[in-house]
Amino acid sequence: MSDNTVVSMDARRGEFKREGRWAPLRNVMLASRAVNRAMNREPSLPGIVVLYGPSGWGKSMAASYCANKHDGFYVVCRSYFTKKSFVETILREMGIRPARTVGDMMEQAATQLDLSGRPLIIDEMDHLVDRNMIEIVRDLHEMSRSTFLLIGEEQFPRKLRARSERFHNRVLVWQPAQPASREDARDLAQFYVPGVEIGEDLLDNVRRRSGNVARVICVNLDAIREHCQKAGLRKINLEAWGDRNLFTGDAPARSTERAERTHA
């Protein structure tokens, strides 16, 4: 795979997807380095990497990039998963027809991980912790001795320790996700608003109003792109943006007058 691969966010769906170019965001690089360390570890060491942080900080973007960069198997946990559906999802990602029992499916997945040497990347790990299914991941790691990248929310390390001390102490790298930096905002601007020069003052305001959350920054950059496209602008700064609203991630407050009409 080329180093020019991009992992970007689909602003229309609020999800991240793989595309033909790549914005080198800080969390992408941190996750990739951590996975690389685990893949080149001493055989006696555990191979689990955890990337954790608040929602919207680009963890899924980092996970998708690592799946591309390191040729990993990438699965996303769902709130309704059972042990069976979780392992079936892994096997579908591997292109393997699932066996009939969970035990046999675990053997299939572990064998594929062991023989291929490819890492397993599991997003939305909080669902498994909340459903008390974390031990199946530890079992799969012990059976395969492969590299695992686990993606969780800010409280994931605490919840993991509370659920399973045995799992918690098998983590090789704890990598906290970082808020979007000025460089991240600039890189995202080049992707979402190509051909338009955005002033540093406007970018800084976007980042501040977005709470340094990558997903919200992307939404605001898309609004800037739409405005520049309609106005035929190739350059914009904070003064030119004026008093137009920027999205903060919060729902707009209902005006008192409208609220009174609603409750009348």
Q: 73-76 and 120-123 as β-strands: parallel, antiparallel, unpaired?
A: parallel
Residue 246 CA to residue 261 CA, distance in Å, equals 27
Please state the pTM of the whole predicted model: 0.84
Residue 42 has a pLDDT of: 96
Residues 6+ apart with CB under 8 A from 63: 31, 51, 74, 121, 123, 149, 151
Band of pLDDT at residue 60, cut at 50, 70 and 90: very high
Residue 261 CA to residue 264 CA, distance in Å, equals 5
Q: What architecture (CATH level 2) is domain 179-264?
A: Orthogonal Bundle (1.10)
Lowest mean pLDDT among 20-24, 71-75, 143-147, 195-199: 20-24
Average pLDDT over residues 51-66: 94
Distances from the Cα of 237 to the Cαs of 48, 166, 180, 215, 241, in angstroms?
Answer: 44, 52, 20, 21, 6
* Residue among 174, 163, 168 nearest 141 (CA): 168
Burial of 154: CB neighbours in 10 Å, binned 0-12, 13-18, 19+: middle
Q: Are 66 and 119 contacting, i.e. CB atoms less than 8 angstroms apart?
A: yes
Residue 17 has a pLDDT of: 43
Q: What is the dihedral of CA 71, 20, 7, 36, to 10 degrees?
A: 30
- Classify domain 6-176 by CATH number: 3.40.50.300
Band of pLDDT at residue 36, cut at 50, 70 and 90: very high
Strand order through the sheet with 171-176: 73-76, 120-123, 148-152, 48-52, 171-176
9 has pLDDT over 80: no
* More confidently predicted of 252 and 40: 40
Residue 112 CA to residue 97 CA, distance in Å, equals 12
Residue 21 has a pLDDT of: 54
Q: What is the pLDDT of residues 119-128, one digit of tens each?
A: 999 999 999 9
Provide the residue type at 120 as one letter. L
Q: What is the pLDDT of residues 158-180, one digit of tens each?
A: 999 999 999 999 999 999 999 99
Residue 262 has a pLDDT of: 54
Band of pLDDT at residue 23, cut at 50, 70 and 90: low
Reduce the DSSP state of residue 82 to 3 states and report it.
Answer: coil
Residue 19 has a pLDDT of: 47
Mean pLDDT of all residues belonging to the chain: 89
- Residue given tokens 């009939």 in the structure block: 100
Residue 9 CA to residue 14 CA, distance in Å, equals 7
Burial of 7: CB neighbours in 10 Å, binned 0-12, 13-18, 19+: buried
The domain limits of the chain are 6-176, 179-264
Residues 6+ apart with CB under 8 A from 156: 50, 52, 125, 126, 129, 150
* More confidently predicted of 259 and 87: 87
Q: What is the dihedral of CA 158, 159, 163, 169, to 10 degrees?
A: -40
